[in-house]
Amino acid sequence: MLEIRSTVKLDDIEAVLKTVAHRHNANVTVVSHLGQPHHVEAGGGPREALVFTLYHPKLYASLLAADIRFAGFLPCRVAAWPEGDGVMLQALTPSGYCRVLGRADLESLAAPLDSVLQRILEDAAHPLTASARIRPGVETSRWGATEDQVNMQATVPQRIDYRGTKIEDEAGTGAHDSPGG
Write down the pLDDT at residue 32.
87
pLDDT value at 6 more than 70? yes
Of residues 71, 59, 173, 35, the one with CA closest to residue 116? 59
Query: How deeply is 20 buried, as exposed, middle or buried, from its count of CB atoms within 10 A (0-12, 13-18, 19+)?
Result: buried
Tell me the pLDDT tens digit for each residue of 115-157: 999 999 999 988 876 444 455 555 555 555 566 666 666 666 6
Give the strand pairing for 27-40 and 76-83: unpaired
Tell me the pLDDT tens digit for each residue of 14-70: 989 999 998 898 989 888 888 765 445 555 555 688 999 998 888 888 889 999 998
Query: In terms of pLDDT, which residue wins out, 178 or 84?
Result: 84
pLDDT value at 3 more than 90? yes
